[in-house]
Structure 1
Amino acid sequence: MGTLIYDSVEPPITIDDRTLSHLKVVILSKLRRGESFSVSWRHGDAPDAGRSTIWVNQSIPLRFIFDETEAPELNQAWLSALAQSANELGGIHLSPEEVGGGELTTPARA
């Protein structure tokens, strides 16, 4: 389970390493271009689990911490979908990765 340290928000945001690896690529790409955007996720699968949204901007410190020592192979289709959603009005909405029509991983739990 990876961790996203966002400014000084406590507790840190926990996200599985695979999802965090994909999210990192999209976030860094957007920030390199000087673009701000939001990232939203559900806290769990229960109907009343809640959700969170953060605003990502160059002026807000970010730190990506991974439990795994090796970076996973990235799913280009998922990266494209995340990057496209980052350009939309609602920003990135983390959802399970789909490979061949089936779910592979479950994203953030905060």
Structure 2
Amino acid sequence: MGVLVYGSQGRTFDIEDRLLAHLRVVFMNKLRRNEPFMFHRAADAGTYSVWVHPAVPIVFQFSGSRPPTINRQWVETLMIEAGGANGLRVIPEPASADV
């Protein structure tokens, strides 16, 4: 289980390493283009929404020793979600896992 640390006050969100690796690619691409977006995630304590902006510090902390392979189809789908009116909602990983 990895951790997404967001903001100067260090708000943390537990996220499974495989999903976190894919979110890192999406966040990196959106923020590199200076495209802030809303990120929504359901958790045990409820649902949270975070406004992701280039000026806010983000740390992706992985618990595993090896990086997960990246499913390009999933990244593309998550990128489309992030660019939509409702923001980025995590959707299930498609079956095909391109590297």
TM-score strictly above 0.5: yes
Pick 1 or 2: higher relative contact order, CA cutoff 8 A, min separation 6: 1
The 5 A counterparts of 1:1-110 are: 1-7=1-7, 8-10=9-11, 12-44=12-44, 50-99=46-95
Per-residue CA distance 1:30-70 (angstroms, 9 max, x = gap)? 111111001101115xxxx6211100001111000001121
Q: SS of the residue aligned with 1:31? A: helix
Q: SS of the residue aligned with 2:69? A: coil
Following superposition, which runs of at least 4 residues in structure 1 exceed 2 angstroms of deviation? none
Distance 1:69 1:97 in 2: 22
- Would the aligned equivalents of 1:39 and 1:92 in 2 still touch at CA under 8 Å? yes
Structure 1 unmatched ranges of 5 or more = 101-110
- Would the aligned equivalents of 1:41 and 1:95 in 2 still touch at CA under 8 Å? no
Q: SS of the residue aligned with 2:22? A: helix
Q: CA deviation at 1:95?
A: 2.6
Q: SS of the residue aligned with 1:95? A: coil
Give the % identical residues: 35
Q: SS of the residue aligned with 1:80? A: helix
Distance 1:22 1:66 in 2: 12
- One-letter amino acid of the counterpart of residue 99, structure 1: A
- TM-score, normalised to structure 2, is 0.88
Q: SS of the residue aligned with 1:69? A: coil
Equivalent residue pairs, number: 95
